[in-house]
Chains A and B, each alone.
Chain A
């Protein structure tokens, strides 16, 4: 029987929203306070949902130790207490939470093979959240 399992994690990072493709004025109009050259930070809440048949021997979709270990080594250690703009994936991509969702989804999709990845959701603040479930043409 198939079940969905969701685990939540916390990390903190800073970013600045600025696109080289736009003029200074356009950047300011588009990103407002988020365009502040010194950057600013958030406590991000990351929510990872995986799915799969419940293994009758263990009662689990996947072992949480595996999921927690993967998230710790591949996601939290990469992003926690970092300035996102300094990371290679955001050298050309603006580190919006939309793009961060896609990056984290792709890290999991490439490396986490213990269950089917359903969704990555990130709360940037209590008032806004973003989610990504992969490219529609690749979804089952």
Chain B
């Protein structure tokens, strides 16, 4: 099994708000992130796929194809967007980095043809990132990673 990671960057704005909370609760729990006018980040996305190396091509996955899928499914939808208002998942879910990683996993999982999705890592800033290993994962796949 070989793991391959492709990075991409996108910029978007968001704010955190749960309509089931009172305004006070929203402010207490989400702090400055509750500002309804939103604020932005330069996100870095890392998509890690895994698979056996194809003996003919020497590839785990055709990188061009992976890049195209990432652009079509994620960047075209999220880059330079207000996540709460323009990305359907976040009309009902709060666009935290956790939910962003989950949404990106769900967008990509069924679209990859050769390799299997292993991990979605989303950096909100260089000092904060979230890893998601899939809906049924308990994170045990972590121990099989080549690094970290």
Contacts and interface: CB of A to CB of B under 8 A. Distances in A.
A58 B101 CA distance: 15
A31 interface: no
Interface in A59-111: 59-61, 63-65
Interface in A7-36: 7-9
Given A51-B139, A60-B98, A3 B130 contact: yes
Given A4-B131, A7-B128, A8-B127, A59 B98 contact: yes
A63 B18 CA distance: 14
Interface residues of B, number: 30
Contacts, number: 66
B57 interface: no
A80 B31 CA distance: 26
A1 to B, nearest CB: 5
Given A59-B16, A60-B96, A1 B102 contact: yes
Contacts of A63: 29
B128 A57 contact: no
Interface residues on A, range: 20 to 34
B82 interface: no
Interface in B96-148: 96-99, 101-102, 126-133, 135, 137-139, 142, 148
B54 to A, nearest CB: 30
Contacts of B101: 3
B33 to A, nearest CB: 9
Nearest to B102: A1
A4 B48 CA distance: 15
A54 B127 contact: no
B139 A59 contact: no
A5 B125 CA distance: 12
B139 A54 contact: no
Interface of B: 16, 18, 20-21, 29-31, 93-99, 101-102, 126-133, 135, 137-139, 142, 148
Given A3-B102, A59-B96, 11 more contacts: A3-B101, A3-B131, A4-B130, A6-B131, A8-B127, A51-B139, A54-B96, A59-B16, A59-B94, A61-B130, A118-B139
